[in-house]
Structure 1
Amino acid sequence: MQVIVRENNVDQALRVLKKKMQREGVFREMKRRRSYEKPSEKKTREKSDAIRRARKLARKQAIREGLIVVPPKRERVVSKRMQTLPATTAQPTNEV
């Protein structure tokens, strides 16, 4: 995995790296390997993962064939910091 640092912007490069690692499933794998997993637990986890993947594929196939309606996308929640306030023009007052 490779991330290019542009203009000494290490913070942005770290964010990009974390996003790539998240997509690849590195954090999930690290969490899973943190402790020993019994063979029976591994078997049940893999089985449930396979069922989840099969359901997802079946749902996508049904959507493509028009058997079920595409669920509406949720709106992104914008944090208060990201919201822009309306621009106000301050009028100078000439009070004495």
Structure 2
Amino acid sequence: MLITVRDNNVDQALRALKKKLQREGVYREMKLRRHYEKPSEKRAREHAAAVSRARKADRKRQERDR
């Protein structure tokens, strides 16, 4: 990952870095790795996320069909 600092504007470069890290999912990964997660907890979390995505897709599909 490369961030260029233009005109000695470090604040702008830091903002761009944070935005890139957010998009890459680094912060989410760090939060998940902070504590050990049992495999059963991981499965449950991933299943809940899949259910949530499916419900959201269904809502979008129904809204489009109206």
- TM tier relative to shorter chain: 0.7 to 0.9
Q: What SS is found at the alignment partner of 2:22? A: helix
Structure 1 unpaired stretches of 5+ = 68-96
Superposed counterparts of 1:1-96, under 5 Å = 1-65=1-65, 67=66
Counting matched residue pairs gives 66
Task: Give the drift of 1:62.
Answer: 2.5
Structure 1 length as normaliser, TM-score? 0.60
Greater Rg by CA: 1
Q: Any idea what the Cα deviations from partners look like across 1:38-81, whole Å, max 9, x if unmatched?
A: 0110110010011111122222223333x3xxxxxxxxxxxxxx
Identity %: 65
Distance in 2 (CA, whole Å) between partners of 1:43 and 1:20 is: 28
Structure 2 length as normaliser, TM-score? 0.82
Structure 2 unpaired stretches of 5+ = none
Distance in 1 (CA, whole Å) between partners of 2:57 and 2:44 is: 20
Distance in 2 (CA, whole Å) between partners of 1:56 and 1:29 is: 23
For the aligned residue pairs, the C-alpha RMSD in angstroms reads 1.4
For residues 58 and 44 of structure 1, do their structure 2 counterparts lie closer, same or farther at Cα, with a shift above 3 Å needed?
A: same
- Relative to its length, the structure with more helix (as a share) is 2
